[in-house]
């Protein structure tokens, strides 16, 4: 990757003097920003922009590190061959017309892939805007040469984006508003060869990058991406495009990428300790925040002191904090006494700390009330971070950003500022704050949402345990019939067979009996005890309730016989009947497993029963997984209070649930023929968890 | 109110030449912006800022319409008397130190109230920043004289705020960024006399105001506020400070106001057709959006066409729209053909409409792709609004705002633009768009949230029916014992008495019997039929389950006797036992009623049972209410799909639920001694709704 990020010489294939063309913009941007040798390539010109122009890359007398290509897609394969002959280290294809366009483009992109496999030369793109390096000042992109070179600014944030707009227009927006500078901005386009994980891997080692933000519509290799996140202590923040089903449809029509199942991706990111953003601006907000305050292993709780000049802003901050699961810090008595000294006598000290009356009282004395209040708050052991409200352009509010930065660093506690104000003053303040390493936000809710990302209580600590190997022991004593089934059957197995598989792997299933002889129905019912459930099993019918094939609340032998007859009638005699104890669990859950095209085998836990029709609450994790990871996943269920026992019911044993998830994960890892497992419901009471119904789907033999 | 908004002459009591004082700022701002006569009042000076100064308001030779007071609180009562002698029409007290400060301040504020009652002179404030009028250019405020007068700009939005910051700093922020201009900005402070409803009433009649936004921590008279909203067709948007419990605590310590129960206020606002905002910036966003596109009685559905230059932005827009309950419009075949003509051949037309390839294809032809795409989208009958993505500062993206404004007006469909960009260009564009009446947003999610407010599907139409009178007929045939109870009892009534009251008003209650004689327990159980529930009733114990006083699933006479004995034992013999049919409803709800200090009697409906422990989902409405209003309230339950029947259960009859709510409302209106009604649960199956447990709380006799 080095040749892309730090080349000594660059050839621009498709350079042109026509100023409205991309090939001109790339050359112009290089001329303005790149200190190494630049070779325009175009057979029609002898010289462009004062640089000697070559008909082909082969004609360049010196060595070339990087070739940037911006010519019509159809001519790209030939250009690649010339690059190979020349022996370049890397190739960046910025022109479009490949897999994102049509069938012809798809085959051209396939040609790029085979070129890479054949030559080992790495290719970046196609259909991308290349690379912008804020530290070195490089622009390897066809972005407007009149704008970006003049607002480029170094900073700790790097971006990897699957969108040209984000690497050009949006970055100009962020830079020109003084929000943050950038280390590298990488537009990776169609990812024919180099993908998000390749670039991420480089940036996690890059000393200039303190935080990586990504806009992705798909993951080429979800597991590699997760491993990179796990192994690094640099924060990784992902904005996943195509979260909604409709969003995913748009993704497919936009690029050649497959927008994977968002819920799987979200689970995988959380599992790997990555963060999620929901909007472009939020992506940059989270990046600049986490770059300045990298999360710690032992997170503090998120008890926030608010220092404000406005009671209303204090109240609305508190409302936001409450929504985002942050605590309003209880100030210590010592802090109250300290603040009381600068407060007017009539005013009690509370959090939010309204310092306006103190500012008025000490007006003209030169006392820096903001600094005093911040110092007091940062010294309080019950305060984990400080949210400061100020205003730019009002002479009575003065902030010393160098001091704030020092205060924050020496206390080790984040300080975030909400700073609305007169446009010109606000901009000066933004620039000053950026340069001092102080976080300033123009909108209150954005400041509070960045506070919340700092103290995110997802249950995932920053450096989670690595993946566990599949234990082979416990999966070894499998009965022959189950092995046969797993090796030879195919498609969707019925409830009885599915649960037999689960049972043989140690997952408790409901007590049940399979009735074929109607004469035995009553006696079996009596020996099992009431109430009972009876279900009709019919090949290919998974949703039994919808087909009227579930009879509940059977309280006597007579009713059992009647149910049996009704069920057989409904199935026209073609099916069998399963009789089960009717269980009553404290909590009804769903568990399952799937194979995701981007992340491989994944285990799911969710809220089941009636609740599930109202609240979609399920969490995916990538398998195999550790007990710790399973517990973390359970801790990400929004309605997990359900597990904590209420109205006298006993709390569900999370360790039992976690170990079932681990088992499901091992099953998926061990038996690649299992495509899907669905346990719905699994009834939980304390440490008892019983699978009541299940479906296992195998790949076809 | 006229004397506050359009005075011919103003006296400033507390005017001073000391430039760091509020009394100077008020005078200076008046001198800069007010065309009428200005009289500084201060016994220490003969002249301030070139104006003759008077020792007292009484000494002014001409008539004075408005007195603005900025002196220490303790001197205010005397100044008020002088104003009365002078015969001013209105008084604006901007100084603080009243109820927001301490006990002394509270009594000074009481003195203001008695002055108003005695003299009939209206008082605005105290503890406020007065009035800013963007149309007339008036500033009656101690805001910094160096800033606001130079960025003031007229516009259709008026604000009423219970916060100085919002009327000064924040307004400067909005104005200086070119977001919108303002008609009136009213800082109403402690509301000793003039409150939010007084000002709202004026602004709803003000021809310069097209939309009113309010920041409120409390409502002085919630019902009057609701009536104003109902009667006007101008949109009213409220940001309620103190939504969270912690927010409310902050509200109490901030001003003298009582931050009422947020859930009640939210229900009342929705009932009255007002909108809610969650943030300061969102308040202004919603105001400028609704000012330009006032909602219609027959709302269209919210099918949005997205015109973008970036696939990624299209995808993320779709994700946001999905979250905010907006539809991605299905484009008609005609529209697809029309757009197909400007699209490159290889590209299928879809929504989001990515026009970048078309822009590239027609580069240099002068074809205005943006206008053509917008026209096509606006002409499509399946499109209700258009979200346009553009970028400022990039030469290949040019927007004709006059044309956009015309297109939007002639189609009657909203057009909203997301427009990030280079800072200076973006500002020019913002100003141009503001002046053309085109909505521009710097952040994508803000644009989408404004689209969502335009098509808000809360179930409340814009002009809801007025309140219904209490029908006296149906509440007349009340048994004597119930009348006695309602007139003479007090405190929390037990389950049996409470349900007797409800039953006598036509609310169905569960079949039950009160058992005093243990010998009758078994026979009564047999005659009632199993399964049964038995409950121990003990004076003062409302939460029976928590006290172990509920025995469920009693399936035989023997078990009934045992339960009876256990219950009596738990109550140490001091109590009685209630025996009920154990019902199984399809849905478990809660209904109830309270008296809110700001809104009076209110009826509540919510999700009950286990679900309620997980999801707080309840809606309040102000009583008495019509069936239509009750249905609207039911339609605001987030988890209302619960009522629509699933897994084979029959849908709940919403009309039955609505009529029960209406009855509860009438009860509250008719019997002021009822403080609280709690029906928990009420079991619903189809059109059957049965109160299973209830508590009625009466005021103490």
CATH superfamily entry for domain A466-508+584-701: ATP-grasp fold, B domain (3.30.470.20)
The predicted complex's ipTM stands at 0.90
The C-alpha torsion from A212 through A217 and A218 to A222, rounded to 10°, is 30
Cα B112 from Cα B93, distance rounded (Å): 10
Q: Do B393 and A147 touch (CB under 8 A)?
A: yes
Q: Which of A97-101, B210-214, B504-508 has the highest mean pLDDT?
A: B210-214
Contact predicate B303/B327, CB 8 Å:
yes
For the beta carbon of residue A201, count every other beta carbon within 10 angstroms: 18
Q: Do B246 and A322 touch (CB under 8 A)?
A: yes
Alpha helices in A534-626 (DSSP H): 557-570, 609-614
- 3-state secondary structure (DSSP) of residue B186: strand
Please tell me the predicted confidence (pLDDT) of residue A308.
96
Please tell me the predicted confidence (pLDDT) of residue A457.
60
Question: Mind spelling out the 3-state secondary structure of A334-348?
Answer: HHHHHHHHHCCCCCC
CATH architecture of B465-508+584-701: 2-Layer Sandwich (3.30)
For the beta carbon of residue A417, count every other beta carbon within 10 angstroms: 21
Task: Spell out which residues of chain A touch residue B16, defining contact as CB-CB under 8 Å.
Answer: none
pLDDT tops 70 at residue B245: no
For the beta carbon of residue B584, count every other beta carbon within 10 angstroms: 9
* Spatial CA neighbour of B308 closest among B262, B264, B358: B358
A-B contacts at Cβ under 8 angstroms:
254
**pLDDT digits 0-9 by tens, B108-127:** 999 999 999 999 999 999 99
Task: Spell out which residues of chain B touch residue A443, defining contact as CB-CB under 8 Å.
Answer: 279-281
- pLDDT category of residue B62 using cuts at 50, 70 and 90: very high
Nearest to A363 among B20, B163, B350 (CB): B20
Among the four given CATH numbers 3.30.390.50, 3.40.50.12280, 3.30.1490.20, 3.30.420.60, the one describing domain B511-582: 3.30.1490.20
A266 CB-side CA count, 13 A: 17
Q: Do A421 and B243 touch (CB under 8 A)?
A: no
Contact predicate A54/A83, CB 8 Å:
no
CA pseudo-torsion sign B437, B442, B448, B452: negative
**pLDDT digits 0-9 by tens, A318-336:** 999 998 989 999 999 999 9
Q: Do A354 and B309 touch (CB under 8 A)?
A: no
- Beta-carbon contacts of A373 under 8 Å, excluding residues fewer than 6 positions away, are A307, A339, A342, A353, A355, A358
pLDDT tops 90 at residue A351: yes
pLDDT tops 80 at residue B610: no
- What's the whole-number mean pLDDT along residues B288-307? 86
Q: Which residue of B has its CA nearest to A102?
A: B346
Q: State the residue for tokens 């989902």.
A: B617
Cα B610 from Cα B623, distance rounded (Å): 28
Please tell me the predicted confidence (pLDDT) of residue A250.
47
Q: Do A254 and B311 touch (CB under 8 A)?
A: yes
pLDDT tops 60 at residue A555: yes
C-alpha separations of B75 from B78, B94, B607 in Å = 6, 13, 54
- What's the whole-number mean pLDDT along residues B198-212? 97
Q: Do B247 and A318 touch (CB under 8 A)?
A: yes
* Spatial CA neighbour of B76 closest among B217, B192, B218, B220: B192
- What's the whole-number mean pLDDT along residues A657-683? 92
Q: Do B422 and A151 touch (CB under 8 A)?
A: yes
Domain ranges in chain A?
2-292, 303-454, 466-508+584-701, 511-582
Task: Spell out which residues of chain A touch residue B162, defining contact as CB-CB under 8 Å.
Answer: 312
Nearest to B254 among A251, A314, A443 (CB): A314
Q: Do B347 and A101 touch (CB under 8 A)?
A: yes
- What's the whole-number mean pLDDT along residues B301-307? 94
Q: Å from A174 to nearest chain B CA?
A: 8
User: The pTM is what?
Assistant: 0.92
- What's the whole-number mean pLDDT along residues A598-603? 90
- What's the whole-number mean pLDDT along residues A75-82? 97
- Range of lowest pLDDT (A487-491, B212-216, B551-555, B604-608): B551-555
Task: Spell out which residues of chain A touch residue B244, defining contact as CB-CB under 8 Å.
Answer: 318-319, 321-323
Q: Do B322 and A243 touch (CB under 8 A)?
A: yes
**pLDDT digits 0-9 by tens, A29-54:** 999 999 999 999 999 999 999 999 99
Question: Mind spelling out the 3-state secondary structure of B15-63?
Answer: CCCCCCCHHHHHHHHHHHHCCCEEEEECCCCCEECCEECECCHHHCCCC
Cα B12 from Cα B60, distance rounded (Å): 11
Among the four given CATH numbers 3.20.20.80, 3.40.50.261, 3.40.50.620, 1.20.120.330, the one describing domain B2-292: 3.40.50.261
Q: Of A282, A316, A641, which to mutate for an interface test with B (greatest number of B Cβ within 10 Å)? A: A316
Nearest to B247 among A245, A322, A445 (CB): A322
Question: Mind spelling out the 3-state secondary structure of B600-663?
Answer: EEEEEEEECHHHHHHCCCEEEEECCCCHHHHHHHHCCCCCHHHHHCCCCCCCCCHHHHHHHHHH
Q: Do A253 and B642 touch (CB under 8 A)?
A: no
CATH superfamily entry for domain A303-454: Succinyl-CoA synthetase domains (3.40.50.261)
Cα B272 from Cα B229, distance rounded (Å): 6
- Residue A321 tokens, joined: 């904090």
Q: Which residue of B has its CA nearest to A146?
A: B394
Nearest to B310 among A163, A246, A348 (CB): A163
Q: Do B312 and A166 touch (CB under 8 A)?
A: yes
Q: Angle CA(A325)–CA(B321)–CA(A440) in degrees, nearest 5?
A: 45
* Spatial CA neighbour of A168 closest among A188, A152, A148, A145: A148
Per residue in A225-247, is it b (16+ CB within 10 Å) or e — as a string? bbbbbbebebbbbbbbbbbbebb
- What's the whole-number mean pLDDT along residues B289-300? 80
Q: Which residue of A has its CA nearest to B103?
A: A346
* Spatial CA neighbour of A511 closest among A494, A524, A493, A492: A524
- Residue A48 tokens, joined: 């462009």
One fold for both B2-292 and B465-508+584-701? Answer: no
- Residue A701 tokens, joined: 């033999």
Rounded to the nearest 10 degrees, the angle between the axes of helix B495-504 and helix B480-488 is 120
Q: Which of A379-383, A466-470, B541-545 has the highest mean pLDDT?
A: A379-383
- pLDDT category of residue A254 using cuts at 50, 70 and 90: very low
Q: State the residue for tokens 């009365």.
A: B84
Cα B101 from Cα B254, distance rounded (Å): 9
Q: Do A312 and B20 touch (CB under 8 A)?
A: no
Task: Spell out which residues of chain B touch residue A313, defining contact as CB-CB under 8 Å.
Answer: 163, 165, 280
Please tell me the predicted confidence (pLDDT) of residue B586.
85
- Range of lowest pLDDT (A5-9, A435-439, B149-153, B547-551): B547-551
Q: Which residue of A has its CA nearest to B308?
A: A165
C-alpha separations of B256 from B93, B220, B419 in Å = 16, 12, 42
Q: Of A28, A241, A315, which to mutate for an interface test with B (greatest number of B Cβ within 10 Å)? A: A315
Q: Do B613 and A641 touch (CB under 8 A)?
A: yes
Task: Spell out which residues of chain B touch residue A161, defining contact as CB-CB under 8 Å.
Answer: 312
- pLDDT category of residue A517 using cuts at 50, 70 and 90: confident
- Residue A477 tokens, joined: 């004593």
């Amino acid at each position: 990757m080095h040749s892309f990020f730090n080349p000594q010489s660059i050839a621009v294939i498709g350079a042109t003097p026509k100023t409205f063309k991309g090939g001109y913009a790339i050359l112009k941007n290089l001329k303005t920003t790149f200190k190494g040798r630049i070779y325009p390539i175009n057979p029609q010109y002898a010289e462009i922009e004062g640089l000697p122009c070559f008909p082909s890359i082969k004609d360049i007398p010196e060595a070339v590190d990087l070739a940037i290509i911006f010519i019509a897609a159809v001519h790209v394969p030939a250009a690649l061959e010339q690059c190979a002959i020349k022996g370049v280290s890397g190739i960046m294809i910025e022109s479009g017309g490949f897999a994102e366009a049509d069938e012809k483009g798809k085959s051209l992109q396939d040609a790029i892939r085979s070129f890479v496999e054949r030559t080992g030369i790495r290719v970046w793109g196609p259909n991308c805007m290349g690379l912008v390096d804020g530290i070195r000042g490089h622009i390897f992109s066809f972005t407007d040469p009149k704008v970006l070179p003049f607002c480029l600014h170094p900073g700790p944030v790097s971006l990897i984006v699957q969108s040209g707009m984000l690497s050009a227009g949006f970055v100009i927006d962020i830079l020109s508003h003084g929000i943050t500078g950038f280390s590298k901005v990488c537009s990776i386009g169609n990812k024919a060869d180099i993908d998000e994980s390749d670039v991420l891997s480089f940036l996690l080692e890059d000393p200039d990058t303190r935080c990586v933000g990504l806009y992705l519509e798909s993951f080429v290799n979800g597991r590699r991406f997760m491993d990179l996140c796990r192994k690094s202590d640099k924060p990784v923040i992902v904005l996943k495009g195509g979260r909604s089903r409709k969003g995913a449809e748009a993704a497919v029509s936009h690029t050649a990428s497959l927008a994977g199942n968002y819920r799987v991706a979200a689970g995988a990111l959380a599992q790997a300790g990555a963060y999620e953003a929901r909007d472009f601006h939020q992506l940059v907000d989270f990046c600049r925040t986490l770059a300045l305050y990298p999360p710690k292993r032992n997170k503090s709780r998120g008890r926030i002191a608010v220092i404000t000049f406005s009671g209303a802003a204090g109240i609305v901050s508190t409302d936001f904090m409450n929504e985002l699961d942050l605590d309003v810090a209880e100030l210590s008595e010592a802090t109250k006494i300290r603040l009381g000294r600068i407060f007017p006598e009539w005013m009690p000290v509370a959090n939010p700390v309204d310092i306006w009356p103190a500012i008025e009282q000490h007006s003209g004395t030169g006392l820096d009330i903001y600094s005093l209040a911040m110092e007091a708050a940062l010294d309080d052991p019950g305060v984990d971070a400080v949210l400061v409200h100020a205003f730019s352009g009002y002479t009575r509010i003065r902030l010393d950003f160098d001091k704030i930065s020092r205060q924050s660093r020496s206390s080790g506690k984040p300080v975030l500022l909400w700073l609305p104000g007169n446009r010109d003053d606000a901009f000066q303040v933004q620039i000053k704050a950026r340069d001092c390493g102080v976080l300033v936000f123009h909108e209150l809710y954005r400041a509070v949402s960045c506070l919340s990302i700092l103290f995110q209580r997802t249950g995932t600590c920053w450096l989670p345990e690595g993946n566990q190997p599949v234990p082979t022991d416990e999966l070894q004593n499998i009965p022959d019939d189950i092995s046969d089934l797993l090796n030879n059957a195919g498609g969707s197995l019925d409830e009885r067979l599915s649960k037999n598989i689960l049972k043989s792997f140690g997952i408790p299933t409901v007590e049940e009996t399979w009735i074929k002889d109607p004469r035995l129905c009553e006696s079996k019912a009596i020996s099992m005890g009431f109430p009972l459930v009876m279900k009709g099993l019919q090949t290919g019918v998974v949703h039994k309730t919808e087909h009227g094939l579930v009879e509940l609340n059977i309280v006597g032998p007579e009713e059992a016989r009647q149910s049996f007859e009704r069920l057989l009638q409904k199935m026209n005699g073609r099916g069998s009947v399963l009789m089960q104890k009717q269980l009553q669990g404290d909590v009804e859950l769903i568990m399952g497993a799937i194979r995701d095209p981007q992340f491989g085998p994944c285990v799911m836990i969710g809220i089941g029963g009636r609740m599930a029709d109202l609240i979609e609450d399920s969490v995916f994790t990538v398998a195999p997984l550790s007990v710790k990871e399973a517990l973390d996943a359970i801790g990400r269920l929004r309605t997990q209070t359900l597990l904590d026992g209420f109205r006298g019911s006993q709390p569900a044993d999370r360790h039992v649930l976690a170990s079932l998830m681990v088992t499901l994960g091992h099953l998926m890892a061990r038996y690649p023929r299992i495509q899907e497992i669905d346990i719905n419901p699994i009834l939980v009471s304390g440490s008892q968890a019983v699978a009541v119904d299940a479906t296992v789907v195998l790949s076809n033999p």
